[in-house]
Structure 1
Amino acid sequence: MKAPRENRLAPILPRLWVCDCCLPLAPAVVGLDIQDEMGRHEVGHIDNSMKIPLNNGAGCRFEGQFSINKVPGNFHVSTHSATAQPQNPDMTHVIHKLSFGDTLQVQNIHGAFNALGGADRLTSNPLASHDYILKIVPTVYEDKSGKQRYSYQYTVANKEYVAYSHTGRIIPAIWFRYDLSPITVKYTERRQPLYRFITTICAIIGGTFTVAGILDSCIFTASEAWKKIQLGKMH
């Protein structure tokens, strides 16, 4: 994969897992549509996607992996590709995962690589569309050997609404509208230099001796004061 900002036309690979657990939509009518500012417009994209029936076929789980260009655009889950539109399609859902690019499983990196994971809209208006506005942030991770891996984090804002036109209510959908941030985040893994390790050990030892000295001084002072008190009682 190209570096995140190296080639504006190099694709990003989103991985989407949406579970429409409670909606009365059969898998056959659910599809993925993709649009962008380069003129791409695909309805019912099916490559590398899977629709698994749930609730005896009344609902479905949608999983997909596809490429998008590094230009503003959107992809959305809808019934737009269905030959016969279902009446009052219900778009309540749970998003289990939405990630972009390579998966980074690195300890001590707690970025927003799956910011929408666990988003639950099962109690929302069943007739509403859902808009997720994503700002995708290119991310580079460089390990100790200098090898780099490229991924993407993202921030998200969302809203839900029931849309109407002059002909009536518009068919609801789950929209993911995205744009790429001009800023790249880089994580660099470095070995701790030997001198820093030695400095840390010396600081710990020095601190221990300092605390021990303070305690010894306090004990000595208290002991001397007690002796004076005892001598005063004897006289």
Structure 2
Amino acid sequence: MPFDVRRFDIYRKVPKDLTQPTYTGAFISILCCVFILFLFLSELTGFIATEIVNELYVDDPDKDSGGKIEVSLNISLPNLHCDLVGLDIQDEMGRHEVGHIDNSMKVPLNQGDGCRFEGEFTINKVPGNFHVSTHSATAQPQNPDMTHTIHKLAFGEKLQVQKVQGAFNALGGANRLSSNPLASHDYILKIVPTVYEDLSGKQRFSYQYTVANKEYVAYSHTGRIIPAIWFRYDLSPITVKYTERRQPFYRFITTICAIVGGTFTVAGIIDSCIFTASEAWKKIQIGKMS
């Protein structure tokens, strides 16, 4: 007898004339197909969409930066003339720069009585401070008014990702216009390195920060100290990393197979139970009639 490979067929076919269609079976089949379609579309949406996974680790993520951090500052002082406004930078590596002017701009406000300072500069990755003051002015005013509004203070690359909600511009919108005009303002910043890696593996480096602040009128043995707006910063050793990920294709296929197979199996069991109960009820009714 020749070998017949059909004996390995585990999906034996039943002749169509030996099957019995029912209304209940048709209803369950339609519901089954609708349910499978709904789950398939849900899984497809999840497969196409990306998810953001975050992790924490101790390291300097941007080793190619040369130990520098880019800073972007935009601040308005509505009651201080632009000739008096300057930016000073200090840190623990010995940097002491008074009246930083590179990549900066001063825009007069209130018919020249006020000033908006915009600047981009770099700081070293060591504790330090930068402050807006009148220290670089040729002549110091008697009563400098340090009331202000901070429009932007950001570190590193601009990172705008819809799914990442971070404190990249925590001081944006800070309003100190009702403060004591002669008061100094201290903003204590804790800068947290942040990395964002997209699906292609490209990384962008930015920095989030937390902030605490206080205002005070400072005095020394010679009298009142000229007020300033201080931004004192320190770097956190912890790095936050956000990574874009997409569900693997094999997992998507496995889930779809599980949905289809599981739905048809459960639907078949339900249909079989209903059909068996229906046939038993018919036999009981026939027995009563006889």
Cα distance between partner residues in 1 of 2:260 and 2:223: 76
Q: Give 1 or 2: higher helix fraction.
A: 2
Q: Read off the aligned partner of 2:73 and give its amino acid letter.
A: L
The answer to whether the 8 Å contact 1:4/1:151 transfers is no
Distance between the aligned counterparts of 1:185 and 1:51, measured in 2?
34
Q: Quick check: 2:62–2:205 contact (8 Å CA) kept in 1?
A: no
Partners of 2:174 and 2:263 in 1: how far apart? 49
Residues 1:35 and 2:35 are matched in the alignment: no
Work out the CA distance in 2 between the residues paired with 1:69 and 1:50: 22
1:46 to 101, 108, 113: 101
Instruction: Tell whether the 8 Å contact from 1:31 to 1:80 is kept in structure 2 after alignment.
Output: yes
One-letter amino acid of the structure 1 residue matched with residue 69 of structure 2: I
Rg: which structure is higher?
2
The residue correspondences of 1:87-106 to structure 2 (distance < 5 A) are 87-106=142-161
Q: Please provide the CA RMSD for this pair.
A: 2.6
Q: How many residues align?
A: 210
> What corresponds to 1:221 in structure 2?
none
Instruction: Provide Cα deviations, 1:125-182, integer angstroms capped at 9, x if missing partner.
Output: 1110000000111111111011111111111110000000001110000000001100
Query: TM-score, length-normalised on structure 1?
Result: 0.81
1:1-235 superposed matches below 5 A:
4=61, 6=63, 10-21=67-78, 23=79, 25-197=80-252
Output the CA distance in 2 between the equivalents of 1:63 and 1:201: 54
Structure 2: which 5+ runs fail to align?
1-59, 268-290
Unpaired runs of 5+ residues, structure 1, are 213-235
Paired residue secondary structure (2:83): helix
Change (3 A) 1:178 1:195: same
Which letter maps to 2:108? P
TM-aligned CA deviation for residue 197 of structure 1: 4.0
**Cα deviation digits, residues 178-222 of structure 1 (max 9, x gap):** 01100000000011223544576689889999xx9xxxxxxxxxx
For residues 207 and 68 of structure 1, do their structure 2 counterparts lie closer, same or farther at Cα, with a shift above 3 Å needed?
farther
**C-alpha separation between the residues in 2 aligned to 1:41 and 1:51?**
21
What percentage of aligned pairs have identical amino acids?
A: 81
TM-score when normalising by structure 2: 0.66
1:55-78 deviation digits (Å, cap 9, x = unpaired): 011000000000100000000000
Seen in structure 2, the aligned counterparts of structure 1 residues 80 and 195 have a Cα distance that, compared at 3 Å, is same
Letter in 2 for 1:31: G
Give SS of 1:51's match: strand
Distance 2:181 2:97 in 1: 25
1:204/1:19 CA distance change after superposition, 3 Å: farther
1:104–1:208 Cα change, 3 Å: farther
Structure 1: distance between partners of 2:262 and 2:180: 61
